[in-house]
Structure 1
Amino acid sequence: MAINSLKDIYLDQLQDIWSANTQSLSVVTELGRAAENKDLSEALIDGGNGIADGIAEIEKLCNDHGVKPDAEHCKGMEGLVKEARAHGLSDEISDADVRDAAIIPQYQRMVHYALAGYGTLAAFANRLGLDGDAAVLKKCLDQTYDGDRRMTEIAMTGGVNKDAAS
């Protein structure tokens, strides 16, 4: 797609976040299965459900604008997914508590990519006067922030980091 306007950037970035979400969904599911801590596992399962919801919302927006959601491949998320597998699911991590502590930053790195994407897209939609799109993207952004805060809570006060340090 030729990029000649803010609308073109907006559509390109919709496709990018769709690709990013699609790639991250499988590894978040794997991280959820690997997590020993019940709260962490549940948060990752909920995170996967949120990612799936985001995929569906972005797909609808793409279709509304007449673009294919899968026309872009997000290389940024490709790298983050590779890192999550290497550092959160590594066979070299033999202690379950240490694995749980390693999973959290891998998940949060992917979440932070999504936060940047949703925030930028919401700003573009607002500027373009796409109020319906902006509302959808703001909802996705808010839910993603909630997931990030929940993960921080699990690490800090939920005992994951404390257990890994023992």
Structure 2
Amino acid sequence: MTIRTLTDLYIDQLQDIYSANRQSLEVSKKLRETASSGDLKRALDNGVSGIEEGMTKVKSLIEGHKADPTGEFCKGMEGLVKEVKAHAINADITDGDVRDASIIAQYQRMAHYAMAGYGTAAAFAERLGLTNDAATLRKCLDDTQSGDRRMTGIAVGTVNAEAMAA
């Protein structure tokens, strides 16, 4: 896709978010299977649901602009997914609590990438006068930030202390 206008860039960014969500969805499911902590498993279940909701919303926005949701492949998330696999899923970590701490760290990296995408796209939508799109993207951003805060709470509340005892 040739990008000539802010609208073109906006659609490109939405497609990138959609691709990032598709990639993070699959690896988040694997993180859930790998986690030891019940709180972390529940948070990852919620994260998977949130990613799926975000994908549905972003797909609808893209299609509303007569574009293909799969028109872009997010190389940034591809790299983050490789890191998740290397440092949490396939890592040689012998203690479940230490692995949980690594899972949270890796998940939050993906969440922060998503927050950057949602925030940027929402700003573009606002500038373009796409009020409904902007509201949808702000909601996705807020939901992602909420999930990130929950992960921090689990890390600080229990997981990091338990990992320290390993």
Alpha-carbon distance, 1:123 to partner: 0.4
Alpha-carbon distance, 1:90 to partner: 2.3
1:163 aligns to what? 162
Matched, 1:67 2:67: yes
Aligned Cα root-mean-square deviation (Å): 0.6
Alpha-carbon distance, 1:135 to partner: 0.7
Distance (Å, rounded) in 1 between the aligned partners of 2:57 and 2:90: 32
2:39 aligns to what? 39
1:132 aligns to what? 132
Q: Is the 8 A contact 2:36 2:96 kept in 1?
A: yes
Q: Which moved more, 1:11-20 or 1:87-96?
A: 87-96
Alpha-carbon distance, 1:67 to partner: 0.4
Structure 1 gap ranges (5+): none
The number of equivalent residue pairs is 165
Alpha-carbon distance, 1:14 to partner: 0.3
List per-residue Cα deviations over 1:12-70 (Å, max 9, x = no partner): 00000000000000110110111110101100110010000000101000110000010
Distance (Å, rounded) in 1 between the aligned partners of 2:93 and 2:135: 42
Alpha-carbon distance, 1:91 to partner: 4.6
1:114 aligns to what? 114
Q: Which moved more, 1:90-99 or 1:138-147?
A: 90-99
2:102 aligns to what? 102
1:18 aligns to what? 18
Alpha-carbon distance, 1:112 to partner: 0.4
Secondary structure in structure 2 of the residue aligned to 1:99: helix
Distance (Å, rounded) in 2 between the aligned partners of 1:78 and 1:103: 17
| TM norm structure 2 | 0.98
Secondary structure in structure 2 of the residue aligned to 1:71: coil
Alignment of 1:87-98 (within 5 A): 87-98=87-98
| TM norm structure 1 | 0.98
Distance (Å, rounded) in 2 between the aligned partners of 1:48 and 1:8: 29
